[in-house]
Structure formats: structure tokens, C-alpha cells
Amino acid sequence: MAAWSLSLSPTVVRIMAEFDLQAYLTQHTELVDAALQTWLPAGDLLPGRLHEAMRYSVFAGGKRLRPVLMMAAAEAVGGRPEQVQHAACAMEMLHTYSLIHDDLPAMDNDDYRRGRLTSHKVYGEAMAILAGDALLTEAFRLLADPRANATVPPATTARVIELVARYAGSRGMVGGQVVDMESEGKTIDQPTLEYIHTHKTGALILASIQVGGLLAGGDDDDLQALTRYGEAVGLAFQIADDILDVVGDQAALGKQVGADQARGKATYPALIGLDAARQRADELCLLALDSLSRFGIESDPLRQIARYIVKRTS
């Protein structure tokens, strides 16, 4: 894909040069995958096919962006990734359930995701619906799990659950999905597109970042800063996704390029043009970096991820 450039201060560039993002992503993704192996019900637990279907979609090559962002947010406020491992798994379960249901024939009707058959193609439509329901439910069970929360104040546990449910539900991710669906094939304005993006994708990203800060003991000012970062990064991620749908490499993406357009879905490039979309993504990235000014070197992972999100090619 065509690259585009960011205006970064010399300090930021220097910090970035000293930090190996790829190693960080690999290490933290492995942490999440190990925790998911532990926390997801075993495939041989009854009913076997249901638990198999849940695992099939969770271990389908996802980038674990939300979990990694949560761990990076925990580190930014001085915490450790291990403190948020269970909540990171819960966010990945929520993300996975939303993908399974999005792919259903009644929704986007996708046969493939990341080059693999979708849940309903492998397990049938009914099982895919139920596997999604079960992952959604298990996410909340895990957020409340007493073993996982042994060192978390119960009031924080309750606050985290309320927050995650708010961002995942009808006023968050599900709401974004509904407006997205209702907008297909229609001409929509930029506020509506921004609503879709900030809700459908942005909400879980923002929730992940806030929960990371909360569980690692961040104070109100920390959380405000993380919220500004999360809002900017969540929207930037989706704009970058829109751009990739136009100029991305099909093999690297593992999905059809131009799919949004073919489906009559509104995107930033379609609405404001490719150059303006890139400029908006860059601006949001700078906004995200700027919002981290109160944190020290511990927030470098968050900085690097923001940059990665708008520069990624898949």
C-alpha cells in the first residue's frame, strides 16, 4: 500500500527508535493467548461442540489489539500486564462474539475471515449464534471471576463490568452495528459515519484502554488522559481500516479489498476522499500521542501502538 507520513517531534522519534514494537506485540500477544487457553472452557467440556466453536473463533489469528492496548494502558499508569490479563481475555471474547454474529448470513454474510471459514460455515448458523452468545456471557463471568480478581478491590471489579457492558451494549458497540446496518446503501453524513466508527469499533477499544488504567490503579487524571488517547486511537483505527479497504493488499489483509464499497458501506475515503482521510488519521494519531504527555517512558508502548495503528498494512 502507499505509505503516508506523520509529523512527529524529534523526542517522540527518538523514543520510538529505542523501542521494539514488534517484540512487544509478540510478547504481549503470547501472554493473552496463554491466558485465553486457561480461561476459555476446555474443548472437551460438555457440550463439546459449543466449546470447540468458541475456541475455533477465539484462536483464529486475531491481532489481539484490544488486549494489547489494555496491557499497554496498565503499564502507562505504572502497572503490570499480568494485572489485567483476565480482563484482556474478556475483551477478546467480546470482540470475537461480535465478529461471529457480524459474519452471520442475516448480517454481513461472510464465508471467510482472516482466510479461514467463518463460524457458521463450519458449525452451522444456530451454533454460531449460540457460540457468540456464550462468548459474550463468558466475558462477563471472567470479569467477575473471584480467582481472577483476587487482588482487585470488589468495587473496581463492579465498576469495570459496568463500563465494559456500557461500551459493548446498545449505547456502544451493538448500537454502532445497528446504525451501520441501517446505513448500508444509503448516503450518510460525516457525523453518522463517525457515530458508526466510534461505536462499532471505537467503543471496545476505548473500554479496553480505560479498564487497563482502572485495574492497574490509575487515578482520575490518568483515566482522563487514557480516555482522550482511546477516543483518538479508536477512531484512527477505523479510518485506517477504511483506507486499507481501498488501497490495502488483499493477501496481507486476508480479506477482499473493496468489500466495503461493493456492499455500499460508507467509509471515510468515500465520504471525504483518500487524502483527507489519511490526514484525519494522522491528526488523530498526533492527538493520541499528545494526550499521553502526563505519562513517562512507561507509555511508550501506547505511543508506538498509536503510530502502528495508522501505519499498518493489514
Among 8, 104, 188, 287, binds a second copy (CB under 8 A): 104
Nearer to a second copy, 195 or 295 (CB): 195
Among 114, 175, 228, 261, binds a second copy (CB under 8 A): 175
Nearer to a second copy, 109 or 250 (CB): 109
How far is it, in rounded angstroms, from Cα 42 to Cα 156?
Answer: 28
Looking from the CA of 27 toward its CB, the CA atoms found within 13 Å total 10
Distances (CA, A) of 143 to 85, 139, 164, 259, 307: 10, 6, 9, 35, 29
> Residues 7 to 46: which contact a second copy by CB under 8 A?
41, 45-46
- DSSP label at 41? P
Q: Does 177 bind a second copy (CB under 8 A)?
A: yes
Among 170, 250, 256, 313, binds a second copy (CB under 8 A): 170
> What is the enclosing helix (H) or strand (E) of 109?
none
How far is it, in rounded angstroms, from Cα 236 to Cα 229?
Answer: 10
> Residues 249 to 308: which contact a second copy by CB under 8 A?
none
Q: Does 127 bind a second copy (CB under 8 A)?
A: yes
Among 27, 37, 47, 112, binds a second copy (CB under 8 A): 47
Q: Does 159 bind a second copy (CB under 8 A)?
A: yes
Q: Phi-psi category of 273—alpha, beta or left, where left has phi over 0 and alpha has psi -120 to 50? A: left
Residue 278 — φ and ψ, nearest 5°? -65, -40
Contact (CB, 8 A) for 172 and 197: no
Nearer to a second copy, 158 or 276 (CB): 158
Among 78, 115, 169, 258, binds a second copy (CB under 8 A): 169
Q: How far is CA 301 from the centre of its chain?
A: 16
Residues at the interface with a second copy (CB under 8 A):
41, 45-47, 49-51, 54, 97, 101, 104, 106-107, 124-127, 129-130, 132-134, 136-138, 140-141, 143-146, 149, 153-155, 157-159, 161-162, 165-166, 168-171, 174-175, 177-179, 181-182, 195
